[in-house]
Chain A
Amino acid sequence: MSVATLISVSAPRPRAVAGGTVALLRYVGIRLGQAVIALLGMVTAVFFALRLSGDPARLLAPQGATEADIEQLRHTFGLDVPVWHQYTNFLVGLLHGNVGYSYVQRESALLLIAQRMPYTAQLALVALILSVVLGVVAGMIMALNRGGWGDRVITPIVLAGQAMPAFWTGILLILVFSVSLHLLPSTGYDGPASLLLPAITLASLSAATIARVTRGAVLEQLSRDYVRTARSKGASTFRLIWRHLLRNVSIPILTVCALETANLLGGSVVTELIFAWPGVGQLTVQSVSDRDFPVVQAIVILASTVYILINLVTDIAYGFIDPRVTASVRGGGAT
């Protein structure tokens, strides 16, 4: 759906499309292949990360397991066969959707994560929307109104937002809104009101980063010739932003948004811990302190898969936004 609509959107630009569709499809194909390689690499990295300590059976065993238990585990997990064999077994297991079994909670790791996922997704989505909207608007204002009152008001806020670590923002918000004012619940999941404080906490850092990148990208473009040409032809500021600037600054902005999504997933570990939010982040910390490594491993694998998919979509979006990217993907710029 997105392919068709995006192509039709760019249809009025004959130069971008002529001979471009084939290049675009090839570009999408190459990116897909690379995503698969990335997945394989990530899974491999996780596989060997668990073996960094030397004996994974000891890690996977629940606390207080006896030597015989560990020997038994080694056999059940197939850890008594050569590493190469373990690796292929691990991959085959993954293909069957078997990401691990928590011996601490006596439950499939996948199920444990699936129970927590809706909470984390909800939080990340609200925070992402909040931070992209606030960030891009703030960045645009800072760049276009440089030295003006808008810039002077927003810049200190952005700088402060960027320097505030999530957990401190969270604790301060709790101090002010829960402990002092009794306005909002401080912990747990209890309706939309309880979403507010964690979402603001998560969004503050990302919004500041996005604002900074937007400002930098716009300022860089403002000194380019095409902006001067558009201005000299009498284009209004709105038209300048909409028709000329957005397309050119969207690549850095998209890049940082993709990276921020990872930050939201990572940052949500701490935020969820502070607000006792029943999401995946809390599960991660809980599993680490329980030494429940199958669950930690499953979380890393699943979160990374999601992130690789986000990256893939971003990369494909580049191709639509900037035809030069598809042209140069296979050493096309042999100048």
Chain B
Amino acid sequence: MSAKRKADRRGLIPLIVVAVYVLVAIAAPLVAPHDPNGSDLAARLAGPFAERDGSRFLLGTDGLGRDVLSRIIFGARVSLTVAVATVLVSGVVGVALGVLAGWRRGWLGTVIMRIADIALSVPFFLLAILVVAVLGPSLVNVVICLALTRWPRYTRIAYAGVLETRERGFIRSTTALGANGWWIVLRHVLPEVLPLAVVVATLELGLMVVFEASLSFIGLGVQPPTPSWGSMLSDGQQYVATAWWLATFPGLALFGLVLAVNLLGDAVRDRLDPTRKVAASSKRRRRKEAVLDTVIGTEQPNA
């Protein structure tokens, strides 16, 4: 009981932080103190807390005199949209293919894993650069090419999980008892694979935020003047010696979101995987496993 409550509490703060990011992104026009694209050349490169004509620039202004805070707030929209869309698309597709390949094996499994290997064998950031450069940079194109290159991660981890699980004693026993194959997959294999996939997904969620920013950083993300953290950092780098706030605050926003997402992922994993929490006491472990079964049971349709 106490362990469970502790895990709940650990995930609470990151959850609140992520929720704040989401809310701010949704309510961006209401929250932002200035127009994110409204430039005021007279107020360019003003430091944090600068005041001008009665309005305050809390985090300073950039080279075109635009309010940094407002641009960060609007930049959250791009980051969150791209990250969530990419993880959803690639995760669902990837896990389904991986479980299918690991369970059925044979020619189908071979074909799936070969395709996954090919997709994995292209250093994905380079492929993303190539595809975006050919298609032209836009929000949808960024999501498409990130998802296209990320699904094999889930497939590989799910495949490895299934291969490892299917040789374990309890699967053999269930098979010996004559259980239906797909029932075994849903009831016994998925619960072993899903925590792996969820951990990968949360890592990926943070990574996708970073990669969207990376693409923007090199100029292949959402195009200006739409504010995005990556392009703000790229601008900031040019002024690194004179205007430290330009690179510091968008980076801080990015760092905070990624950190919160990662911490949330840890809490989720600890709740989903009881063996890591209580290894010594078998009685508690069994009880936790019962809890896990109900948790996984409700989540099966998603996988």
Chain B residues closer than 8 Å to A53, beta-carbon distance: 134-136
User: Would B237 and A171 count as touching, CB distance under 8 A?
Assistant: yes
Interface string of A47-80 (1 = CB under 8 A from B): 0011011000001000000000000000000000
Stretch from A87-95, A133-141, A192-200, A297-305 contacting the other chain: A297-305
Chain A residues closer than 8 Å to B254, beta-carbon distance: 165, 168
Q: Is there a chain A Cβ closer than 8 Å to B82's Cβ? A: no
Known: A171-B240, A223-B279. A165 touches B251 (CB 8 A): yes
Contact of A265 among B115, B123, B153, B214 (CB under 8 A): B123
Chain B residues closer than 8 Å to A288, beta-carbon distance: 129, 133, 218, 220
Q: Is there a chain B Cβ closer than 8 Å to A262's Cβ? A: yes
Chain B residues closer than 8 Å to A42, beta-carbon distance: 118, 121-122
User: Would B129 and A49 count as touching, CB distance under 8 A?
Assistant: no
User: Would A168 and B130 count as touching, CB distance under 8 A?
Assistant: no
User: Would A165 and B214 count as touching, CB distance under 8 A?
Assistant: yes
Q: Is there a chain B Cβ closer than 8 Å to A255's Cβ? A: yes
User: Would A165 and B210 count as touching, CB distance under 8 A?
Assistant: yes
User: Would B279 and A222 count as touching, CB distance under 8 A?
Assistant: yes
User: Would A266 and B123 count as touching, CB distance under 8 A?
Assistant: yes
Contact of B117 among A50, A160, A311 (CB under 8 A): A311
User: Would B206 and A49 count as touching, CB distance under 8 A?
Assistant: no
Stretch from B84-92, B181-189, B257-265 contacting the other chain: B257-265
Contact of B126 among A222, A266, A289, A333 (CB under 8 A): A266
A326 smallest CB distance to B (angstroms): 13
Q: Is there a chain B Cβ closer than 8 Å to A145's Cβ? A: no
Stretch from B62-70, B160-168, B288-296 contacting the other chain: B160-168
Q: Is there a chain A Cβ closer than 8 Å to B172's Cβ? A: yes
Q: Is there a chain A Cβ closer than 8 Å to B77's Cβ? A: no
User: Would B255 and A163 count as touching, CB distance under 8 A?
Assistant: yes
User: Would A45 and B118 count as touching, CB distance under 8 A?
Assistant: yes
Stretch from A7-15, A16-24, A108-116, A269-277 contacting the other chain: A269-277
Residues B240-266 near A (CB distance < 8 A): 240-241, 244, 247-248, 251, 254-255, 258-259, 262-263
Q: Is there a chain A Cβ closer than 8 Å to B56's Cβ? A: no
User: Would B255 and A164 count as touching, CB distance under 8 A?
Assistant: yes
User: Would A304 and B247 count as touching, CB distance under 8 A?
Assistant: no
Contact of B124 among A209, A266, A270, A333 (CB under 8 A): A266
Complex: chain A residue closest to B118, CB-CB: A41
User: Would A52 and B233 count as touching, CB distance under 8 A?
Assistant: no
A133 smallest CB distance to B (angstroms): 21
Q: Is there a chain B Cβ closer than 8 Å to A257's Cβ? A: no
Q: Is there a chain B Cβ closer than 8 Å to A27's Cβ? A: no
Chain A residues closer than 8 Å to B130, beta-carbon distance: 46, 49-50, 296-297, 300
Q: When chains A and B are docked, how far (Å) is the Cα of A251 from the Cα of B156?
A: 13
Q: Is there a chain B Cβ closer than 8 Å to A25's Cβ? A: no
Chain B residues closer than 8 Å to A285, beta-carbon distance: 218
User: Would A324 and B167 count as touching, CB distance under 8 A?
Assistant: yes
Known: A163-B258, A266-B126, A324-B167. A41 touches B115 (CB 8 A): yes
Q: Is there a chain B Cβ closer than 8 Å to A107's Cβ? A: no
Residues A143-157 near B (CB distance < 8 A): none
Contact of A34 among B117, B175, B237, B255 (CB under 8 A): B117
Q: Is there a chain A Cβ closer than 8 Å to B58's Cβ? A: no
User: Would A168 and B233 count as touching, CB distance under 8 A?
Assistant: yes
Complex: chain A residue closest to B251, CB-CB: A168
Stretch from A97-105, A172-180, A233-241 contacting the other chain: A172-180
Known: A52-B135, A216-B199. A255 touches B106 (CB 8 A): no
Q: Is there a chain B Cβ closer than 8 Å to A320's Cβ? A: no
User: Would B175 and A335 count as touching, CB distance under 8 A?
Assistant: yes
Q: Is there a chain B Cβ closer than 8 Å to A166's Cβ? A: yes
Contact of A273 among B126, B218, B248, B276 (CB under 8 A): B218
User: Would B247 and A168 count as touching, CB distance under 8 A?
Assistant: yes
Contact of B247 among A164, A175, A328 (CB under 8 A): A175
Known: A259-B153, A324-B167. A52 touches B134 (CB 8 A): yes
Complex: chain A residue closest to B236, CB-CB: A171
Q: When chains A and B are docked, how far (Å) is the Cα of A303 from the Cα of B136?
A: 22
Q: Is there a chain A Cβ closer than 8 Å to B268's Cβ? A: no
Q: Is there a chain A Cβ closer than 8 Å to B213's Cβ? A: yes
Chain B residues closer than 8 Å to A46, beta-carbon distance: 122, 130
List residues of chain B with CB under 8 Å of any chain A CB: 105-106, 114-115, 117-118, 120-127, 129-131, 133-136, 153, 156, 160, 163, 166-167, 172, 175, 199, 203, 206, 210, 213-214, 217-220, 230, 233-234, 236-237, 240-241, 244, 247-248, 251, 254-255, 258-259, 262-263, 275-276, 279
- Besides the contacts A38-B118, A266-B125, A311-B117, what 10 more A-B pairs have beta carbons closer than 8 Å? A49-B134, A53-B134, A165-B258, A167-B214, A168-B255, A220-B275, A269-B214, A285-B218, A303-B122, A328-B167
Q: Which 5 A-B pairs have the closest CB atoms?
A: A266-B125, A168-B251, A163-B259, A41-B118, A163-B258
